Amino acid sequence: MDNLSKKGPKPDSIELALFSCLRYEEAHLRLVKDYQEKWNINDQEREVILRWMTTRMKEIQERT
């Protein structure tokens, strides 16, 4: 029971590392102007990726 939160098992070190990486990539994707060249994606794909990142980070954060 020690490893449980209200939303399920607490995130392990892998998920916490993923959370950190997602925060970095989200900030980078939001702030850079040349994301189309760097990642070869369009605006619609960028928005989908950002929504997924936000959702995944919320899932991890809610269990901490």
Residue 38 lies in a domain: yes
Residue 4 lies in a domain: no
DSSP assignment of 17-63: HHHHHHHHHHHHHHH-S-HHHHH---HHHHHHHHHHHHHHHHHHHHT
Residue 33 lies in a domain: yes
Tell me how far apart the alpha carbons of residues 53 and 59 are, in angstroms, rounded to a whole number: 10
Task: Dump pLDDT digits (tens) for 2-59.
Answer: 566 567 789 999 999 999 999 999 999 999 888 888 889 999 999 999 999 999 999 9
Residue 27 lies in a domain: yes
Residue 17 lies in a domain: yes
Residue 51 lies in a domain: yes
Tell me how far apart the alpha carbons of residues 18 and 46 are, in angstroms, rounded to a whole number: 19
Residue 3 lies in a domain: no
Q: Which residues form the domain of 45?
A: 10-62
Residue 2 lies in a domain: no
Number of domains in the chain: 1
